[in-house]
Chain A
């Protein structure tokens, strides 16, 4: 089965600092999704990457997918308390909107 590893498992940063979360797949992906989850709540869609080398940004969050389509990073610039939560990467292995396989998640806390 598709394995996704996320690192770090948890992260505490001071408000205003930059941070990066990584997601690594053991196999080439069709698509890579980033979601944010607040504890005990649903998954909020952030970004989807499909092309090798692709980079997308939304507000202060930038996601990149490497050329081999096996590794993605999520970078947050000038973190704010509103960025706190659990970040999940999800892999689409076959395309066509099939099932997503999720990583273990990275818990982010932003301290004032």
Chain B
């Protein structure tokens, strides 16, 4: 069964460093999302992406964050200068079409900023 994959599964970085989290959505899906979950807290929406542009973003998704679909399969989240509070589990999700609305989530990347 097709699934969303994410790499790396874990990443440790120093404060101020740039990180890129990678996702391979389900093939033929058209809508892509990033969510994050700080330890012990709710899963929070970051950004949605469709047709090579951001559809919607949350207040969390400030200028330090960016997303890109560099090729036909990958979807990336970049954090330019990480902060301690960026430590969280980051989930990628994808959805098929306008009618098929279910979002399928990847296993997540656990990011730890020291």
**A97–B95 CB distance below 8 A:** yes
* A residues in contact with B68, CB < 8 Å: none
Residue among B45, B103, B107 having the largest count of chain A Cβ atoms under 10 Å: B103
Given A31-B101, A33-B102, A99-B48, 4 new contacts (CB under 8 A): A42-B105, A95-B101, A99-B58, A105-B42
From A40, A45, A95, A102, give the contact of B43 (CB < 8 A): A102
B110 at the A interface (CB under 8 A): yes
A82 at the B interface (CB under 8 A): no
Which partner residue on chain B sits nearest A31 by CB separation?
Answer: B101
- With an 8 Å Cβ cutoff, the count of chain B residues facing the other chain is 26
**A45–B45 CB distance below 8 A:** no
From B35, B91, B104, give the contact of A45 (CB < 8 A): B104
B75 at the A interface (CB under 8 A): no
Interface SS, B side: strand
* A residues in contact with B58, CB < 8 Å: 99
Residue among A33, A35, A43, A95 having the largest count of chain B Cβ atoms under 10 Å: A43
- Docked CA distance A98–B42 (Å): 18
**A97–B103 CB distance below 8 A:** yes
* B residues in contact with A88, CB < 8 Å: 43
Which partner residue on chain B sits nearest A105 by CB separation?
Answer: B42
Interface SS, A side: strand
Supposing A88-B43, A97-B31, A99-B33 touch, asked if A42 and B102 sit within 8 A by C-beta, the answer is no
**A103–B42 CB distance below 8 A:** yes
Q: How far is the CB of A103 from chain B (nearest CB, A)?
A: 7
Which partner residue on chain A sits nearest B43 by CB separation?
Answer: A102
* B residues in contact with A44, CB < 8 Å: 105
From A48, A97, A100, A104, give the contact of B45 (CB < 8 A): A100
**B106–A96 CB distance below 8 A:** no
* A residues in contact with B43, CB < 8 Å: 43, 88, 90, 100, 102
Q: How far is the CB of B9 from chain A (nearest CB, A)?
A: 10
**B101–A42 CB distance below 8 A:** no
Q: How far is the CB of A107 from chain B (nearest CB, A)?
A: 11
